[in-house]
Amino acid sequence: MTPKIPEKKLGVNIDHVATVRQARRAPEPSVLEAALEAERGGADSITIHLREDRRHIQGSDLFELLRNIHVPLNLEMSVSPEILKIALKGVPEKACLVPEKRQEITTEGGLDLFNKRGRLERTVNALQKRKIEVSLFIDPDEKQVREAARLGVEAIEIHTGAYANASGKARNQELERIKRMARLGSELGLRIHAGHGLTYGNIFPLLRIPGIREFNIGHSIVSRAFFVGIAKAVAEMKKIITSGK
């Protein structure tokens, strides 16, 4: 009997709904309403990044979402002690550890698991003690994948930014890197997620990579939502992910 292939899932990042709100420090658009609309469109999880500079998502958003949404919440976070304290208070279902620079417009690359290893290990252990599933946002690099397995996390999220920003031969090379690392991660017992820079157009080659089980997408969906609404924008992406077309 052929084993059933797990369904590919969609995590919807709603940070940029908060970006619009924070531009005016106004009560709208509502981050919670955006999350609920994403659920209606078929989101399997909601992702938010609580940055140290609070440029979009606020601590109050995290707790409001935890009280009201019906799908798992994936909290992107740095290894900052302040952010860890908030995460341990809220206890989201998932936490994805990411690098963070104050000057960057968006996350510029994967987490270097060999930098500040002690703090990284303490953060992972503290989250796992509260039964929070931990993933690490890393570049498709063999040393990083093997170190993620050594750390004992449940999953890795492969940074797809280099793939998304490349074209022609360079894009094909990045795609091959992702394929190899997805296969290695799976062999090491890690669940494989992918995200950053993914759109309605460039996601198709990644859907053919067997090991990737979850895609976390934000900017492209929120951009599309300006014209069709969040639920429809999410439903369109969910259809692409589940059907491949």
Task: Please give the single-letter amino acid code of residue 5.
Answer: I
Q: C-alpha distances in angstroms, 41 versus 15, 37, 38? A: 17, 6, 5
- Give the Cα separation of 121 and 79 in Å (integer): 10
Residue 188 · residue 143 · CB < 8 Å: no
Structure tokens at 216: 């976390």
Asked if 50 contacts 76 with a C-beta cutoff of 8 angstroms, the reply is yes
Which residues, at least 6 apart from 148, have a Cβ–Cβ distance to it below 8 Å? 113, 136, 138, 156, 185, 190
Annotated active-site residue in 39, 76, 157, 214: 76
Which is catalytic among the residues 16, 49, 159, 193?
A: 49
76 is catalytic: yes
- Enter the DSSP assignment of 27: S
Is residue 56 annotated as part of the catalytic site, yes or no?
no
Active site residue 196: yes
Catalytic residue among 157, 174, 196, 214: 196
Q: Which residues contact 225 (CB under 8 A, 6 or more apart)?
A: 232, 233, 234
- Is cis: bond before 29, omega within 30 of 0? yes
- On the CB side of 238, CA atoms within 13 Å amount to 18
End-to-end CA distance of the chain: 27
Non-local (6+) Cβ contacts of 126 within 8 A are 84, 88
User: Could you tell me if 39 and 233 are in contact, meaning their C-beta atoms sit under 8 angstroms apart?
Assistant: no
Q: Which residues are catalytic?
A: 49, 76, 196
